[in-house]
A and B are shown apart, each in its own frame.
Chain A
Amino acid sequence: DAKTTQPNSMESNEEEPVHLPCNHSTISGTDYIHWYRQLPSQGPEYVIHGLTSNVNNRMASLAIAEDRKSSTLILHRATLRDAAVYYCILDQTGANNLFFGTGTRLTVIP
């Protein structure tokens, strides 16, 4: 299973930006980087994914390092509803499945 490394936990103040880091030094050229999050008592939900270029959607932004060995999920204004476990996942070509590690538990402080 492709390996990613994330901090176990992070805190953020409400309405401030949050930068969630992820290291994936063993990434290969065709592996996509996926982010999912799991809100309390819910199933995981898709947040964003990318290959090489930075990506933006209505939920977040994904900044990918030039060497692709790390990435950062950016929540531009954290709300209490963003408190969740965030998973950074490498999608290996042909694997057809995702390996969820331990993720980062984000706490948002009012």
Chain B
Amino acid sequence: DAGVIQSPRHEVTEMGQEVTLRCKLISGHNSLFWYRQTMMRGLELLIYFNNNVPIDDSGMPEDRFSAKMPNASFSTLKIQPSEPRDSAVYFCASSFTSGGNTDTQYFGPGTRLTVL
């Protein structure tokens, strides 16, 4: 298995532009997590899905951020419009959740986003 796949690996854009980050889950996994990591705030959970349904989006910063799972193996995180303070590394993680306690999460390599 190739593991969690994220694209692009690096993205540089200008303030105000739309940014779309992509994530492919590990085959057979049913939970998807989006995290953001900065020096100041560390690793923060933005949103997670279980069986394609958003379960908790309380970590999503504001309306400029949106996430979708159009199918069981793929997710997008969109920022529109982007701002310089959105610059961070965005990680996607997947797991197989069978209920109860959290199962092991497998992280992708991350997308480094720079908003100028």
Contact = CB atoms under 8 A, between A and B. Distances in A.
Interface of A: 30, 32, 34, 36, 38, 42-46, 49, 87, 91, 93-103
Interface stretch (B62-70, B75-83, B106-114): B106-114
Contact of A98 (B91, B105, B108): B105
A101 B50 contact: no
A22 to B, nearest CB: 16
Nearest to B100: A93
A97 B101 CA distance: 9
Contact of B48 (A36, A87, A96, A102): A96
Interface of B: 4, 31, 33, 35, 42-43, 45, 48, 50, 55-56, 91, 93, 97, 100-102, 104-110
A91 B107 contact: no
By DSSP majority rule, is chain A's interface helix, strand, loop, or mixed? loop
B42 A45 contact: no
A44 B89 CA distance: 12
B100 to A, nearest CB: 6
Contacts, number: 56
Given A42-B109, A44-B107, A46-B104, A96 B42 contact: no
Contacts of A99: 45
A46 B101 contact: no
B94 to A, nearest CB: 11
A36 B104 CA distance: 10
Contacts of A42: 107, 109-110
B93 A96 contact: no
Given A42-B107, A99-B45, 13 more contacts: A32-B101, A34-B102, A43-B93, A44-B93, A45-B107, A46-B104, A46-B105, A91-B101, A91-B102, A96-B50, A96-B56, A98-B45, A100-B35
A69 to B, nearest CB: 19
